[in-house]
Structure 1
Amino acid sequence: MTLKNVRNYIDGSWVEGAGTFTVVNPASRAQLAAVAASTADHVDGAVSAAHAAFATWRFTTVFQRATMLRSIADVVERREDELLLAITQEMGKTLGESRGEVQKLAQAFRYYAAEGERVVGRVVPNEASSITSLVTYEPVGVVAAITPWNYPLELIGWKLCAALAAGATIVVKPSEFSTLSAALLFECMDEAGLPAGVANLVFGRGIGPDLVGHPLVSKIAFTGSTATGNQIARSVHHAIPLSMELGGTCPMVVTEHADLQKAVSAAARRGFRNAGQICIAINRIYVHSSLYEEFLSRLAVAVDALVIGDGTEDGVDMGPLATEEGLAKARRHVDDALAHGARIVSARRDVPASGSFMCPAVLADCTPDMLVMNEETFGPVVGVSAFDSIDDALELANRPDSGLAAYAFTESLAEAHLLSARLDYGNVAINNPDPGIMNAPYGGRKGSGFGYEHGPEGLLGYLEIKHTRIAHALPGA
């Protein structure tokens, strides 16, 4: 594998850092890229470029911006194979999952191109006929976007596409573990002819505070850990909009009226896809006692059938974890559960020794005090426990620090409506494993963040509302 040189993209140019840091392929631990290490000066240059570009970009028409976003989507689709390989090499997911991510990125560009054209204001009546009130929407300004490594392009895209469609400009700081795919995306935008300064890219460890604290930043959009999100919220030195998606320990409830095979298939998919490294991964499962043992048996079979290996290889279902820290945390959750009386019902088998691989684990007889049931594992581990009544299941599912996504399985219409109403989560999926779609709002509550991505609400997060009240002469006066 050839070591790649990854640079910052500032004001339409590729810019070296103050030295470099190295990223590795988690499947082989081979060096993948030498990445520009940014300083506060690089961050200042990127924000200043975005601020200067905003003076022009904000006044482009929604149709001009839509044309640009569609042009970028065309380039992304043409370079799909290049982008998906970069994702798999830098964070480990399978090529099939990476392909889906790139396709969703292109979809986001096209969706927000169209959504931007649908933003309209309104005329508000006044008591006097000689006064007219106009409500209009204007772009927020310079956006600071900080994104994680688990969906390195899609999670940039949610912020980037909405911001550009709204007429805002942006500075993106990706995770240091997912740099190559981000640089390739900015190559696509450069190739499509995006004006200099409208979108900027900076890499590096420790520069997040310089970005979110910059006085020219008008909005912060963050996806990542709760701890980092809390730190960012505390550090903002003046009142600006924040949107944060902080994950959480997502539950699944399987009632006595569930289609058991549907529930098992969903648990296997949403619990172990991308090696469990998804903000909306199913972390803890509550199964009615009448179905409990059968559910465990079937889920163990489904998980044992997963093929573990390098995501670039054919037939692989689950690649490595992206980081050594993530691997250690997932193993710690398994060890803690076993030490407190849980049992593993999935097979313990060998996995490749060269990278950050882990045998997927289904843990039975879990109790609320176990780490797997009250911390986000972010790995290929699910905890399962039994319940006797829906009230008991809801009490267990509705943690005060978790509110991003919840899942439920029941063939009872009454139970479906009850679970929808009482699961205190921003996204609830009933009888399916996919709680989010591009044209509906996606966001958390409680400890899982605030603000929305996707849908019209995702675009509105990058717009400010203006009320203009105009006094004018009466007709004929």
Structure 2
Amino acid sequence: MTRTKMLIDGVWVVGEGDAIEVRNPARGSVVGTVSHATPAEVDLALRAARLAFGDWSKRPPVERARLLKRAAHIIRERKSDLGRLMTSEQGKPVNEAVGEISKLADTFDFYAEEATRVFGEIIPNDSNAYQSLVVREPIGVVAAISPWNYPAELIGWKVAAGLTAGCTLVVKPPELTPLSPLAIMECMVDAGLPAGTINMVTGKGSTVGQQMVESDIPDKIAFTGSSAVGLHIQQSLKNIKRLSLELGGNCPMIVTAQANLDQAVKGAARRSFRNCGQICIAINRIYVERAAYEPFLEKLAAAADSLVVDDGLENPDADLGALCSQEPLDKTKQHLADALERGARLVAGGRAPDAPGLENGLFFRPTVVADCSHDMKVMTEETFGPLVGVTAFDKHAEAVRMANDTPYGLASYLYTKNMDEMRYYSRHLDYGNVAVNNVDAGIISAPYGGWKQSGIGVEHAREGLLEYLNYKHVRLCFDEDALQ
């Protein structure tokens, strides 16, 4: 296999650093290699972005939009190949990966439309001789660092919003899943983006990412990942920068006795186990009103047991593929063992699948444990794997207290048909996103961000675009008397 090249100042280069192997988590085989960027290469990419900013930031918004739309078109043309490439390095089934690529293209289209709607304001003063203009201008160079669980979509949120605003970027893709992001960069180069406008350097976050954070060149850091790393980034800054941090979650779901249980179970199975639970807004813990507790558990266990776990390349329609690496698999097993030792009841899963051909992969059945308490890790830590804990509640205030008993505040879920309950919970849940009778907490047209230790800033929507813009106040003084 050839070593995949990095993109620096419009040129595809084989890095001078050591090769990093990229493995298929379903098979344990090497699917490609990338270079570990050297400090000189990272610095070259950052300087290229700085040099390109002058031209890109001054281009008319409609021109930037045209290039983003062209990139979206090329991405859609190549979505099948991009999806299979993503599956080979990340593990999710092909159909799910292709769906992620489609959402990436949709994100580019969305922000291309927003490019022409970056409006300013005119503010009256206390005298007619003065007028204040508020204009929005691009921040500058953005260092974007993204995780492995959604290697295309999470990069797209940053790249599309940043380019739309007129910023230039240096992107570090995840070490585990760099191949599909690099292929997406090829689409953008083929769309005609000017050299240096977007760059991509590969390597470890502890070295390449750390250098990007500590460099004086970026004006903004956009990061998605764990809360621990987000805090480390904040503490590592050598100068004042804008920050967007989309960090960890520990997301609760509340099911009242007034819920449609079939819909609640369907939502719980989807959001707990999609992408093997490797998603910041995955449901980690479920609180069910006691009258509905045992019926809900029975239905959820059956739903979990019915999910198909398979090699995502061989079976594109599988519900779950392999976990991306050994770390989330080990954490899932640890959280499960801790729950069972503390008295939880296993009602589904709890083991690797026994289907032939999966022996060398990082597979685990979707797992449900019942009768959980908050002294269990499954209820208090983000598992980031195919495991969910369930417990009963008697009073609505009790459910709110347990749901909010976490330092995180990214997303929460509620199932009920009672309007009073909808209002009560949506007002009292301390989360940036509350989804009622659905599990799609984040959509591109609404702001998406976490409270508390789940991050700062937002992505998605017009508000996500504004995160890449500075505000400038221009106060004008007129001399109308001279015209008399």
What is the deviation of 1:402? 1.2
1:426 and 1:442 in contact (8 A); partners too: yes
User: One-letter code of the match for 1:15?
Assistant: V
Does 2:7 align with 1:6? no
Tell me the SS of whatever aligns to 1:207.
helix
Shift of 1:472: 3.0
Aligned to 1:302: 303
Deviation at 1:132? 2.2
Which residue is equivalent to 1:285? 286
- Supply the distance in 1 between the matched residues of 2:129 and 2:392 (Cα, whole angstroms): 67
The CA distance in 2 between the partners of 1:220 and 1:256, in whole Å, is: 44
Aligned residue identity for 2:4? V
CA distance in 2, matches of 1:256, 1:4: 57
Structure 1's unaligned 5+ residue stretches are none
Matched-pair contact (CA < 8 Å) for 1:132–1:470:
yes
SS in structure 2 opposite 1:195? Answer: coil
2:483 aligned with 1:476: yes
Instruction: Give the whole-Å Cα distance in 2 for the aligned partners of 1:68 and 1:359.
Output: 43
Amino acid of the structure 2 residue aligned with 1:197:
G
In the alignment, the residues of structure 2 paired with residue 23 and residue 350 of structure 1 have an alpha-carbon distance, to the nearest angstrom, of 23
**Structure 1 residue 340 and structure 2 residue 333: aligned?**
no
Deviation at 1:450?
1.1
Of 12, 15, 26 in structure 1, the residue corresponding to residue 13 of structure 2 is: 15
Partner-residue secondary structure (3-state), 1:363:
strand
Identity between Structure 1 and Structure 2 (%): 49
Tell me what 1:173 maps to.
172
Distance 1:122 1:36 in 2: 46
Contact 1:6 1:179 in 2 (8 A): no
In the TM superposition, 1:369-408 aligns within 5 A as 369-408=375-414
From 421, 435, 444, the counterpart of 1:438: 444
Aligned equivalent of 2:330, options 309, 328, 331: 328
Q: 1:462 aligned to 453, 468, 482, which one?
A: 468
Deviation at 1:15, TM superposition (A): 1.6
Counterpart residue type for residue 476 of structure 1:
L
Following superposition, the deviation at residue 148 of structure 1 comes to 0.1
3-state SS of 1:22 partner: strand
Correspondence for 1:81: 80
Q: Counterparts of 2:412 and 2:343 in 1: how far apart (Å)? A: 26
- What are structure 2's unaligned runs of at least 5 residues? none
Taking the aligned partners of 1:442 and 1:363, their CA distance within structure 2 comes to: 30
Query: Which stretch of the first structure deviates more once superposed, 5-14 or 186-195?
Result: 5-14
SS in structure 2 opposite 1:251? Answer: strand
Amino acid aligned to 2:21: T
Deviation at 1:86, TM superposition (A): 1.1
What's the CA shift string for 1:236-284, capped at 9, x where partnerless?
1211110111121100000111111111000100000001101100000
Residue by residue over 1:383-423, the C-alpha shift from the partner in whole angstroms, topping out at 9 and shown as x without a partner, is: 00010011000000003411000000101001001111111
Give the aligned partner of residue 252 of structure 2: 251
Looking at structure 2, the residues matched to 308 and 71 of structure 1 have their Cα atoms a distance apart, in angstroms, of 36
Question: How many Å separate the matches in 2 of 1:4 and 1:368?
Answer: 49
What residue number does 2:90 align with? 91
Structure 1's 299 and 38: CA in aligned 2 closer, same or farther, altered over 3 A? same
Cα distance in structure 2, aligned partners of 1:109 and 1:91? 22
1:347 shift after superposition: 4.3
Say whether the 8 Å CA contact 2:328–2:384 is kept in structure 1: yes
Displacement of 1:5 in angstroms is: 2.4
The aligned residue for residue 115 of structure 2 is: 116
Following superposition, the deviation at residue 360 of structure 1 comes to: 1.7
The aligned counterpart of 1:368 is: 374
Deviation at 1:359, TM superposition (A): 1.9
- 1:400–1:381: structure 2 CA closer, same or farther, 3 Å change rule? closer
Q: Distance in 1 between matches of 2:349 and 2:164?
A: 48
Aligned to 2:64: 65
Q: Is the 8 A contact 1:93 1:319 kept in 2?
A: yes
Task: Please show how residues 26-175 of structure 1 align to structure 2 within 5 Å.
Answer: 26-175=25-174
Cross-structure match for 1:428: 434
Question: Which aligned segments of 4 or more residues in structure 1 are displaced greater than 2 angstroms?
Answer: 127-132, 347-350
Moved more, 122-131 or 84-93: 122-131
Aligned to 1:411: 417
Q: Secondary structure at the match of 2:400?
A: helix
Contact 2:352 2:363 in 1 (8 A): no
Deviation at 1:19?
Answer: 2.5
Q: TM-score, normalised by structure 2?
A: 0.97
Hey, what's the Cα distance between the residues in 1 that align with 2:445 and 2:314? Answer: 33
